[in-house]
Structure 1
Amino acid sequence: MIENCPECGEPGTMLVYGLPGPALADAAKAGRVSLGGCMIEPGQPDWFCPARHSWTDEDVDGRGRLLDEIVAECNAPPPPPTAHAGAGVVEWRAGESALTLVTPGAPDQVAPFAPSIPVDEYAFVVSPDERYVALFIDSGHDRHYPHDTHGFELFEVRPEFRHIGGLPALPGDGHPPVFSPDSRWLVGFVADGYRVRGTGRHFTDLFDKRSGARVTLDWARLRALRLPDQELHWVDVGVEMPVSAYPHEYMDWDTEDAVGFTAADVAVLRMPWGQEVAVSLPPSAPVTGDRPPTDPYYSAFQ
């Protein structure tokens, strides 16, 4: 098998012809192979190099074995998430109702817990001082939970590795929480519905394209957990909207990577229309953003 260019000696990239399946498409996306098109004709080159030299390889079986290896590597499941805390690594091992802290030269430490929701995906978040680890869990779709739910479990790494609490599940697609710079707050900012402030009614129930009325749409919720006592504070996050707003204007609002800190006790929320709102912790009142009339969501439907 000729893997290096016969002209310049550079490593070659395999050319593959025909309609690719998902696995082969992923290998091409990763740059491990190159797709030569759907037409298969005699004399087509099998390889090319960075200098665009191309050549034909007669070792069909060898290329086939190599292609199988490349596809298998590119489509192997990613390793499960872990978290580094001090000199140790926190793991969640399949089938176990516990996290394990693995520290070189020391016995493994185990923190038992029972997930409050079914587990589809999960991620770790470590506090800046590495004293706490939050385990964010997303349920995905489960027959017992017809809608996505998300929540997180909280663990203390030192002085003892143990499960100390967390926050119950909420419906919808969530995102991992964020620790404050001093590790005294754990903040979650998630879209959780489209309620009319003060009434509990769903915003879409008020839709009237001929009305000039305006109400406050609470579309997200800020939850702040104070550490170490785990005192929970939460407030709605909303914006004034005309009841003539079409659902397209707000149904895809998201909070991914939309929370940060400017100080240990000041969280900053980034709204879908770009505005940033500073919130002092603990939050004391509902948060209301100022959605400008030039917002493209607003102007597109007026």
Structure 2
Amino acid sequence: MIIYALSWLGFGLILGFIINWQLTIILYSLICIFILILYFESRLITLSTSLQRETLEQASILSMESMDNIRTVHQLNKQGSLADKYESLTNQCLKIARRYCVIHSAVWSINFAFPWFVASALYESGLMLVDHGVLQPKDLIWLYVYVFFTLGSTDAAYMLIYELGQSTSAVANFLDLFDLIPKIDNNSTDGMEITDLKGDIEFDQVHFVYPSRPNRVIYKNFNLHIKSGQSVAIVGEFRIKYKLTNELYYNKIMNIIEIEKFSIFFRLSNSSETIET
């Protein structure tokens, strides 16, 4: 389709210089304005698609977490608040679509009227050239052919602009994956590794968030003291807290942690040592 549009545009350019160079300059000046309008519409479609995709992704994550942790959600009676948040996200997506739909309609009306405006301007310019003796009346027939071939490229470009805007957003999101640098290095060996854990464990004002999701606080001002030989269950609002505790301590003290469904038990040997984390 792009080759089709460019071929029509090139043929119209050659035919225009054969007929009259003044009309060609007028026409291609108007086509440059049309290209700017198409570029604005393409950017508008790309921005609208990106905003709607981000909002729908948040709604999808919320629904997946709710379904994965449906028992916890039911026990904490969070159905109403989660439903309200999901409805808020979907309404936000509809507002984005409605806002850009109005702007898109205005741009579409300009694009729809553009060929008729160009044809009228060329015919008016052609009649003025006939009055000045630059063109002959029979040349107006060639002018009709000239307008037909040249504006055929604008019709093809307008048909492509919506798909181009959406594909640009998808390609940009796809290329970002190649440039993405993980904030969590799974192969990192930095930090202290506890090889022989004995005694009590004490959590003092622990604040933890994932680097990739800094807005979601997992632990805030978390205080816990586990005595030697004591079994403690840490139960969070969502399963992510269970996974977090598993990731923090399972690989380091594998032999003394037992995971049973939604509870994590610490079993320590008798000692008077205290480990602060």
TM-score between the two structures when normalised by the length of structure 1 = 0.19
**Greater length-normalized contact order (CA 8 Å, ≥ 6 residues apart):** 2
Q: Which has the higher helix share?
A: 2
Q: Specify the structure having the higher radius of gyration (Cα).
A: 2
Query: TM-score, length-normalised on structure 2?
Result: 0.21
More strand by share: 1
